[in-house]
Structure 1
Amino acid sequence: MSKSSVQSLFFPIGRWFALGALLAWPSVAHAWVETTLKSDNVWLEVDSSGMAKVRHEMLVRVRGGPLKEFVVDGVDADASPLPDASLVRAKSGAGAGHPIPLVPELDGTVLRLVINAKKGVSRGTFLFRFTYETNLANLGGISDRGGHAELQWTGPRFDQGLDSAKLVLSLPRAASAPSIPAANGADGRNEGVFLAQLRRSSERDTLEIVRPHVARGETVTWRAKVDPELFGFAPAVAPTPTPHLRSGVSRRAAMGEPSWRRLGALGASALVLAVMLWVKGRSVAVAAEQRGASARPLVRLPLWARALIGAWLAFAGGAVALELQLPALGAGLAVLYLLLASHLEPRLHPRLRGPGEWARQDPACLAQKSSIRSPGAWLDMGRWQGFLFFFAQAAGLLGLARIRFAVSPYEGIICGMGIALLLPIFCTGRATELPTEPGAGGLGLLRKCWQRVEGSEEVEAELLGRVSEAGAVPDELRIRLSPQRVHNGFQGIELAVENQMNGVGRVPLPVIILRVREGSACHQVLSKRLAWARGRTSEQRACLLRPALPDVESTIELLGRILDLVQDETSAGSGPRAVGAARSASRPQSASNSSMSAGSSSSQVNPASA
């Protein structure tokens, strides 16, 4: 074998051997790690000497790994870490595992939290806890502002930013409660929006401050106005006006005393509500009595009691929510008010109509208006007066809510929710829920249908009215149609209106009554298509049909279909088209579905029974 052949054989083997040796050479492993800071909650406990204890709880999401240390940039220059630092997996119960110690290493203002675990941590969300001490007085964090002292502390810098940051400031209790400065102070500083909530105990004051958003790389400076005597400064000569707080705490509540101006406004609003409740209840009772019904308040108490108790509940709910900062209790009182102020559908008192006769009526009576004027139009959302009055009050409350929101978002929301107190007054006990006046139900629908069928050459139309022996005014109106060429046994088609209750009140619905003689040719033609019930006599059969939609067009279309069915096949008229009817599907219903005695109230009368 030649020398070149040997080299060509062993040279590839040597290259692979060298590559394997390089891969086997021990080296430091470098892994990919990504951390995302989800939240940072800080507890700052300050004593009267200016010494402060800063405790962080940072929620960190780790991807990849292992993570050996976590770096916090921007701690106080004189920070002295305490040996209680640890991390735990952000899970509840046994899933969190045992806390892992952290070894704090301070390098200037950079704090490294070394994870005291052989393999570090990998993939998951962890809660880092660490505490250090600092002297705010030596760092210039406490200053005398002439009348009040200002405490400021600057937090760490976060490269990724935060959706929200929270600082809980704990101070010894002083004569005046701590608060946050205005967004634009006298020195022109504008450091963003802060929300605050105050809690006072016998020993300490706690001010919880929230910054809604922290930008990338931003350092947040937290400021609070405190009592000057707490840090040995001279007390204020005269009380200075408390600035507007952008917080959920009112100014007077932060000072520990009620706001008499706010309570006065709540009291005046409660008196207005009491008057509105009384007027509403009285109007509903009178209107129901005019229509032969009785009002039904949801809570059956005397009217004066409902007005007074409802006003007291509204006042107490507002005072509890605004002064005592108990929104849940305030909402509960508001719910009781809503129940007390609501009305159910009036209860009808059926009246016997007595015997009567059907007679032709002048079509001009279809244009008559109701002679009954129901009171309470300004407190009825279904009438234009009440519609305008409601939206005027709602606009006023929304304007007040916007003004108060600039001072306190909590107060602004409470003011806006006051609109709910108007809903039972304007949206229950409406005129549309009352029974209709005898003979006046559905006049608009009958008038439009009469205009469509009047003057037809193939169908004779006449307006009928039922007049009782005790009165001269019809208590019900119908339109009767008489085609010229029909099957033997056809006795008539009548268009009536029945009033039914739905979610918006009483609505007039059209119903068509078809009458034939039992066993006649017309009955035999239609018996397989429709369901029948006994009519006015033992020989008569009647059927109720309702259009698919309760409007004029659908009613006329259904009339055209019925006229097609009853028309004699030997005739060549155009009766159905004479009333403008087209083919339209409709589901017939038996007259027995809504059968009632002939002595029922006119507002509930069954068309097939007359």
Structure 2
Amino acid sequence: MLPGFSPRLSSRFLRGFARLPRWGVVLAAFVVSVGVPGVARAWVEVHVAGDEARVTVERSGAARVQHKVTLKINGGPLRAFDVAGVDPDAAPEADAYVVPLKDAQRSSLASASPVVMEMLPREKPRDDGSLPPPVLRARFDGKGLGRGVYVLFFRYKTELGQRSLLREEGAMTRLTWSGPVWDDGLDTMRTVFQVPAAPTEPRLDEAAGAPEDEGLAPPMTLSTVRRGREHDELELVRPYAPKGEAVRWALLADARAFKPVVEAPKAGPALPVRAFEAATAWTPDREKTLYAVAAVALFAVFTGLVAAKVREVSRVSEAAGVSPRPLVPMPLLARAPLAGATLVAGVTLELILKSGTAGAVLVAAATALCVHRTPVWPRGAMLRGPGKWLPVAEAEALRMPPRPRGVLLDVSTRAGKGLFVVLLGALGAGVWFAWQRSPYHAQLLGLDVVALLGLFCTGRLGELPPDPAAAPIPLLREVSRRVKRGLKGVEARVVGRIRVPDGTPDADEIRLGIAPRAALPGFVGIEVGVVYAPGAGGALAMPEVLLRVTAGSPCEEAVLRLAVNARAARGRRPEERVLSFTPRLPTARMTAAIAAALARAVVAPEPVKETPQKDARGRAQAVAREQARRSPKKVATPAAA
């Protein structure tokens, strides 16, 4: 019978299908596969590769059971997984999660997903009268788990004492507990029992683990005991777990570990103490009130911060001659309240929902409302009118400019750094408080720091057009220090040079001037300047070194070898030539190295000095020649015959 059709229609369709030719069969099969409604079923195979259990038993007999189950999934997606054979009174806790095996080995929860654990209703007894094992179901939200290896972490509480699993036998107490049932079995089974500390250490009860058949040997179990001041641990490892059977563990612990400590009766607190405890008790109503107060405070603080940021960016942008560029253009009266309300709604959804997607979207929207883009520099921002270059003493020219004041929401200022650290501390306190309830929601709350990053790390002073008369000073100070260190043994002057436009008393550019004491003829000067260009995150500082020489002079001939890597241009006078050198990286070290090399190249050679002995011999020879020239010459006469 075909699904979705009555028996009569199905029989007629099949009889007609038998009379069709071969091509008709193929066509009919295609029509049936497309047109007949059916249920799409995805193939998925799950294999349990390991299970590490931890049973923490208290003195009262209550226990907390923790499982780390390794799942190998083929196909998928897997939307639910059943754990059979858990304790019948298991009460699952809300901190279950699943994480890929690679992240679990690195102790990372970056890709962890929350898991909903629920106990399924008990099924009816089987035909033989036995009850099926209790089942704890893990539901994976979203698209489920795809192919891969994962680690499922979950915990639940149970009462071992009320189920008669703790039996006192003389000086010892026998504790028995059965693990889950795995259909494929396990190669290794590991369980750690943690019991209260007692004089006698816990040990494995080998007699209780022996099989009922007398001919079979008990399964081999390795045990390790770790003693502590508060708790004792007994780690049990069994090299094999049978298929479809629960592994039963049994151990013997000191009976005094499960007997409550009898304390001496204390006098009841006085009435004022009782009233104080009642006033400070943590009740659900007070918890809701605290959450409401925190939400109102968060709304007020973030709204005020966004409003202050908008005013601050507008003020500094107008002073720099540019227009602010918010990511979401909106009036201030609407932007600030909307950003605060969106952030509060996002944080609330992250804390109350099982999935943090909706809350994260709202937090991202609140961040977008406080983010500012880099302003666009006006055309001709670096163009200048006529002016004069004046020499200034180095100490006066390179004096550090005053720090900007009145800028609190900029991480590049001292006040901004302090306020940013304070707000980070407040966020850290909230994360710590949320961690006590749910580590998963605490991590979501910690990721909301993106709102503070958008508030403090955008709209900064560094994104505005810089002042060429003040911004290069830190770089020029470092270049000056390195040049002096590189010119040891060479007498050179380092001065500041400022440019003053005509008609204004304020400088619009500053440079660093370098000049050797004894330079070659034709040398004019060496200048170190900084050129700024707009970038994605602010202004880009590009230093350059200028060598000014007279065309055709010995100084120009001396730097011909270095001029290969420079750009030549005309100078301020017709006979002046300028060679511009740019470092490969815009660093003070490379800039100073170029300036020092140029200064050494233009130093005039020292004249050769003769020794005193050579000078005396030369003077004596000159005197002798002069005397010989002035003395009269004797003429020879013929002898008398």
Aligned: 1:341 with 2:370: yes
Which residue is 1:420 aligned to?
450
**Equivalent residue pairs, number:** 373
- Cα distance in structure 2, aligned partners of 1:73 and 1:354: 85
- Structure 1 stretch 392-401 or stretch 532-541: which is displaced more? 532-541
Pick the aligned partner of 1:473 from 503, 506, 513.
506
Does structure 1 conserve the Cα–Cα contact (< 8 Å) formed by 2:472 and 2:510?
A: no
1:286 maps to 2:321 = no
Q: How does 1:60-459 map to 2 (within 5 A)?
A: 156=180, 160-161=188-189, 261-349=290-378, 350-351=380-381, 353-366=384-397, 368-370=399-401, 373-377=404-408, 379-450=409-480, 453=484, 458-459=491-492
Please give the residue correspondences for 1:515-534 in structure 2 after superposition, counting only pairs within 5 Å.
Answer: 515-528=548-561, 529-534=564-569
Q: Distance in 1 between matches of 2:85 and 2:330?
A: 66
Distance in 2 (alpha carbons) for counterparts of 1:359 and 1:477 = 10
**Is residue 495 of structure 1 aligned with residue 531 of structure 2?**
no
One-letter amino acid of the counterpart of residue 566, structure 1: V
Q: 1:266-305 CA deviation, whole Å, 9 max, x = no partner?
A: 3431221111011011111111222222222222222333
- Among the aligned pairs, what percent are the same residue? 27
Partner of 1:4: none
Code of the residue aligned with 1:429 in structure 2: it is G
Q: Residue by residue, what CA displacement relative to the aligned partner does 1:549-592 show, whole Å, maximum 9, x if unpaired? A: 6555544332221123334567689xxxxxxxxxxxxxxxxxxx
Letter aligned with residue 384 of structure 2: R
**Contact persistence 1:515–1:540 (CA under 8 A):** yes
Judging changes above 3 Å, is the alpha-carbon distance between structure 1 residues 456 and 74 closer, same or farther for their aligned structure 2 residues?
A: closer
Contact kept, 8 Å, 1:296 with 1:344, in 2: the verdict is: yes
Give the conservation status (yes or no) of the 8 Å contact 2:515–2:599.
no
**Alpha carbon RMSD of aligned pairs, Å?**
5.0
CA contact (8 A) 2:310 2:332 kept: yes
Q: What is the alpha-carbon distance in structure 2 between the residues aligned to residue 572 and residue 554 of structure 1?
A: 34
The Cα offsets for residues 428-480 of structure 1, whole Å up to 9 and x where unpaired, read as: 12223233335112223334555665999733444321111121122212232
Match for 2:511: what amino acid?
R
Counterpart CA distance in 1 for 2:443 and 2:575 is: 69
Q: Distance in 1 between matches of 2:503 and 2:580?
A: 29
Residue correspondence of structure 1 range 532-551 to structure 2 within 5 A: 532-536=567-571, 537=573, 539-547=575-583, 550=586
Q: Secondary structure at the match of 1:541?
A: strand
Cα separation, partners in 2 of 1:370 and 1:482, compared to 1, 3 Å:
closer
Aligned to 1:463: 496
Query: Contact (CA 8 Å) 1:496, 1:510: kept in 2 or not?
Result: yes
Q: Which residue of 2 aligns with 1:590?
A: none
- Give the CA deviation at 1:337: 2.2
Given the superposition, is the C-alpha separation of residues 110 and 279 from structure 1 closer, same or farther in structure 2, using an over 3 Å criterion? Answer: closer
Q: Distance in 2 between matches of 1:373 and 1:513?
A: 31
2: distance between equivalents of 1:299 and 1:309?
Answer: 12
How many Å apart are 1:306 and its aligned residue? 2.5
Task: List gaps (5 residues or longer) in structure 2.
Answer: 1-46, 53-68, 73-82, 89-125, 134-147, 149-161, 165-176, 197-234, 239-246, 250-283, 610-641
Query: How far apart are 1:512 and its partner, in Å?
Result: 1.1
- Kindly indicate whether the alpha-carbon contact (under 8 Å) linking 1:438 and 1:475 is maintained by their aligned counterparts in 2: yes
Unaligned runs of 5+ in 1: 1-34, 41-57, 62-71, 78-103, 112-124, 126-138, 142-152, 165-183, 185-213, 221-250, 253-257, 574-610
CA distance in 1: counterparts of 2:542 and 2:351, whole angstroms: 49
Q: Whole-Å Cα distance in 1 between the matches of residues 128 and 331 of structure 2?
A: 74
More deviation, 455-464/555-564: 455-464
Partners of 2:363 and 2:448 within 8 A in 1: no
Structure 1 residues 477 and 74, CA gap change in structure 2 (3 angstroms):
closer
**1:215 offset after TM fit, Å?**
7.5
Match of 2:449, SS state, is: helix
2:154 paired residue number: none
Give, in angstroms, the shift of residue 329 of structure 1.
1.6
Structure 2: which amino acid aligns with 1:386?
G
Provide the C-alpha distance between the structure 2 equivalents of 1:435 and 1:215, rounded to a whole number of angstroms.
Answer: 69
The alpha carbon displacement at 1:403 in A equals 2.2
Is the 1:37–1:162 contact (alpha carbons within 8 Å) kept by the matching residues of 2?
A: no
Structure 1 residue 424: deviation in Å?
0.7
Name the stretch that deviates more: 399-408 or 318-327: 318-327
CA–CA separation in structure 1 for the residues paired with 2:450 and 2:178: 43
- In the alignment, the residues of structure 1 paired with residue 191 and residue 318 of structure 2 have an alpha-carbon distance, to the nearest angstrom, of 60
Superposition deviation, residue 368 in structure 1: 4.3
From 566, 580, 592, give the equivalent of 1:556. 592
Measure the CA separation in 2 of the matches of 1:283 and 1:73. Answer: 62
- Is the Cα–Cα contact under 8 Å of residues 442 and 509 in structure 1 kept in the other structure? no
Q: 1:477–1:496: 8 Å Cα contact kept in structure 2?
A: yes
Seen in structure 2, the aligned counterparts of structure 1 residues 496 and 449 have a Cα distance that, compared at 3 Å, is same
Shift of 1:106: 8.7
SS in 2 for 1:395: helix
Cα distance 1:384–1:372, how it changes in 2: closer, same or farther (>3 A)? closer
- Partner Cα distance (1:548, 1:107) in 2: 86
Q: 2:407, 2:413 within 8 Å by CA — same for their partners in 1?
A: no
SS of residue in 1 equivalent to 2:446: helix
> Is residue 567–residue 581 contact of structure 2 (8 Å, CA) maintained in 1?
no
Whole-Å Cα distance in 2 between the matches of residues 291 and 465 of structure 1? 20
